[in-house]
Structure 1
C-alpha cells in the first residue's frame, strides 16, 4: 500500500492455530484474468445462512502485495463463527501476515468473548499490538491497518477496525458505513498531545510526522508514541433489513463512495462475483493501490 514513504517486503514464520475446528465449506480459490485471485464459501448452518466471496488485486504502485485477508468458518462451543478480515500492510508484509494468522485466535481466546465480545475484541487488539511491538526485531518496522468481522450463528455481526480499511453494510437497500476512517487530521489533537505532528503538503494526504497516512495501526514501532491501536467496534444485529456487508481496503474506497459500491452490487446474489465487480471497477477508476474486497451476504 502507499501509506508510507518507503516499502520493504519480507516473510516471517507464524504459529499455527491448531486447536480450533475450522470449517471451510465450498471454499474455492482461483486466479482471474485480471491477475487477481478470488474465492467463495458458505456456512453449513441450516438456518441463518451466510455466504461470502472475495477478490484481491495487486496494485500498480511498484511494491509487492501487502494486503492479506481471512475468510473462513469455525465451530466453537456449538456456535458457527464466520471470520472475515482485511489487513493492509505497509513497510513490508510481516505484520499483516502475523495478523492474518493470529488476530482471530487472540480474540477467541479472550475469556470473556462470549459474554462481552466488544471488550474481548478491544483487549485482543491491544494485546496483539503489544506483541508485535515487543517482537519488532522479528516482525520488522512496518505496520498494518485492519478491518475484522465476526458473524455469530448468522445472527450477530461484530465489526472492528483501525486505520482506513472499511466496512459498509447494505441496510434496507442503502449504504451504511459501520467503521471509522482513522485519518491523521481527525486525530490531530491527540497526536500533538502525544508529541507528534500532522503534515498537510500540497498534492499529498495528511500524514503523522510526515510519514503515515493513518492515525491508528498495528505495529509501526518508530511512530507508536503518536499512533493508537484502539479499535472502533460496532455490533449489528442481523435481521431481514441487512442484505450484505462489504469489507475492503482503501484501494477501493479511494475511488468509490459507499453508496456507489452498494448500488453496484446489491442486485448480485453471488458474493464472489460482487467482490470481483467492485475490484474491477476500482481498477477502471485508476486505483493504484492494492485492492482487497470481501462481500458477505446474509440469507
Structure 2
C-alpha cells in the first residue's frame, strides 16, 4: 500500500460533522491528498475511516479583555488527531479549544506558530567553543523530545592527560575528547545511567591500557587493537554493573523499594554511541552499541563534501547481525523474528534490556520476590543481547575541516547520510560567507537567504547493510526537491539539521510535528539527539571550553554565560 502523504489539509465541514463538531465554527475545504499516516515505520498505513459520532467538546471561557480584542485576532490553526490520521484546520479569530476532545483518544490542539515552533526547537540547544588548539574547536548539540519525558540522553567530556600517560614531545599533556549519545527505550533510566557513567568507565580502562603500554621500552602508545579492547571492556563492565551486579545487590537487601531503584536501568534499555578522539595521534574511535549512527563529513578537492558512515545500525534487519545471532543460538528459529530479537527488541546490541539477558530462573525469582513479568516462551539460551560495541578507527584531518555528526536513530529515519553532511557543509559555507560580510568569526556570521540549489555533497544514498533508510519521508509523502525543502536559519548546526529533518521550508509541517503532544507525537517522530563536532584548531587559544552564546539556548532573558560555568567545567 502506498504511504499516505503528509499534507497540511484543511478540515472540511463534512468530515467534521461525521466525527465531532465545535459549535459549527470549524469549516474549510478538504484537500485532495491524504493526511499523514501515523503508522509505525515497520507497518503499513491503515485506511482512514470516519464514523458518524456527533460529539461536542468543551471550550475555554473568554475573558472580557479577550473578547474585546477578539475581532483583531488572526484565525488560529489547529491540529485534529485520532488513531488513524492527522489534519490541520483553522478556527475563527478569538475561538479557543480544549486539548481533551472525548474518551476515544481524539484530540484537537492549537498549532504552534512558526515562531513558537522555532522556540521549542531551540529550547535545548547547546554550543561550545573548544580553545584547546588540539584538533577540535567547536561542537553543537540539540535535543528535541517526542516521549515525555525524553528517553534520549548525551554526555561530553574532555580529559587532559599528563605526560605520564601519553608522552607528547613539546607538550605537557594531550587531550582525550569524548562525545556520547544514548537512545533509551522502555524508559529513560538506562540512558541516564550511561550519561553518568559510560565515559568515566571507558576513560578508566583507557588509562590502564595506556599506562601498561609505557612499561614496554619499545612502545610509546598502545596498539589500536588494545585501545579498541579497552573501550569494549568499559562498555561491558558498565552493562554488567547494570544487569548483573544490580541483581546481586537486591537479593542481599530484599526490599521492593530498593529493587525498584536499583533494577530500573536493567529493566529499561539504551543504545550507546561513543566517539573518542585522541589529540596526539588524531585518531577517532567510534564505538556503537545499537542503532545510533556516526557519519563523517570531509571536503574533497572539488569543494564538495563526502559522507562516510563510521558505524552500522545494529538491528535484526542487519544481515550480519542476524547471522551472528543465529550462529550464537543454533536451532532457535525465532532468535530473529520480523527483524527483532525474539520478535520484540529491534536493537541486537544494547545496555540494560535484562529480560533478554537474565536467565529464566533469575527472572522468575525477581518476579516472585519483587515484581516483573513472565519470561517469554521463546527465551531458551540467554543472553541474546550484548552491550559489546563494534569499534571503528578513522584518521582525522583537522586542517581540512572534517566534521562528525552523531545522532540517535530518530534523525536517520528522516534524512540520509548524504543529506545530513550536505546540510552541515552548506551551513558552514553560509557561516563563512556571513563572516566575510560582517568581519566577525564565521561562527557568529550572518545568514544568506538566497536559493541554495542542490546540496554540496557527492554520492547518493545507498541501501548498505545496517543503514536505516529515511522511512519517515516516505511516510509523510515528501517529494520536494532539495532546493524546495531546506533552509538556513539557525546558528547551531545541530538545530539546523533537525529543523530541516522535520520540515525545513515547510513551516506548517514543522509546526505540526512540534505541536503534537506525547504520546501522539511518537507515531510520527522519535526523540532526537544530534551532535556536530568540528575538527580544526580555530582562533581561540585560551585553553578553555566556553559557551558559544549565539548558538546556545538562554533559559531566561537575564541569564549569562558565566551562570553556566559549572556546566562548562564539567566538559573539561
* Bin for the TM-score computed over the shorter chain: 0.7 to 0.9
Q: What secondary structure, in the 3-state scheme, does the structure 1 residue paired with 2:157 have?
A: strand
Q: Distance in 1 between matches of 2:150 and 2:279?
A: 33
- Which position in structure 2 is the counterpart of 1:18? none
Distance (whole Å) between structure 2 residues aligned to residue 229 and residue 88 of structure 1:
13
How far the C-alpha of 1:171 sits from its partner, in A, is 2.1
- Secondary structure (helix, strand or coil) at the match of 2:209 reads coil
Q: Give the match for residue 188 of structure 1.
A: 322
Are 2:399 and 1:265 aligned?
A: no
Which residue of 1 is the match for residue 387 of structure 2?
229
Task: Check conservation: 1:32, 1:38, Cα contact below 8 A.
Answer: no
After superposition, give the CA deviation of every residue in 1:142-195 in whole Å (9 maximum; x if it has no partner).
110011011222722111101110000012320000011101132223334424
Report the Cα distance in structure 1 between the residues aligned to 2:316 and 2:269, rounded to whole angstroms: 16
Per-residue deviation, 1:49: 3.7
Q: Distance in 2 between matches of 1:288 and 1:49?
A: 31
RMSD: 2.4
| Residue pair 1:40, 1:272 contacting (<8 A) in 2 also | no
SS in 1 for 2:426: coil
- Greater strand percent: which structure? 1
1:204-223 correspondence to structure 2 within 5 Å: 206-223=339-356
2: CA distance between counterparts of 1:263 and 1:42? 22
1:33 aligned partner: 119
Go from structure 1 to structure 2 and tell me whether the alpha carbon gap of 1:32 and 1:38 turns closer, same or farther (over 3 Å shift): farther
After the TM superposition, list the runs of 4 or more consecutive aligned residues in structure 1 that deviate by more than 6 angstroms.
none
CA distance in 2 between partners of 1:109 and 1:189 (Å): 33
Between the two proteins, the alignment pairs up a number of residues equal to 264
Aligned mate of 1:46, from 133, 150, 160: 133
TM-score, length-scaled by structure 1: 0.81
Cα separation, partners in 2 of 1:79 and 1:32, compared to 1, 3 Å = farther
Give the superposition deviation at 1:58: 0.4
Quote how far apart the aligned CAs of 1:108 are.
Answer: 1.0
1:82-104 superposed Cα distances (whole Å, 9 cap, x missing partner): 21010001111111111111111
Per-residue deviation, residues 90-148 of structure 1 (Å, max 9, x unmatched) = 11111111111111111111110562321110111111111111216414211100110
Name the structure with the higher helix share: 2
Conservation of the 8 A alpha-carbon contact between 1:69 and 1:100: yes
Contact 1:49–1:298 under 8 Å retained in 2? yes
Aligned to 2:160: 75
Structure-1 separation of matches of 2:136 and 2:230? 25
Which structure 1 segments of 5+ residues have no match?
Answer: 4-30, 201-205
2:533 is matched with 296
Q: Deviations over 1:24-65 (max 9, x none)?
A: xxxxxxx96125401111323234343100011002xx5420
Asked if the contact 2:160–2:175 (Cα under 8 Å) also holds between the matched residues in 1, the reply is yes
User: Which range moves more in the overlay, 48-57 or 252-261?
Assistant: 48-57
State the partner residue of 1:163.
290
Give the number of the structure whose alpha-carbon radius of gyration is greater. 2
TM-score (norm 2): 0.44
The answer to whether residue 492 in structure 2 is matched with residue 280 in structure 1 is no
Partner of 1:175: 307
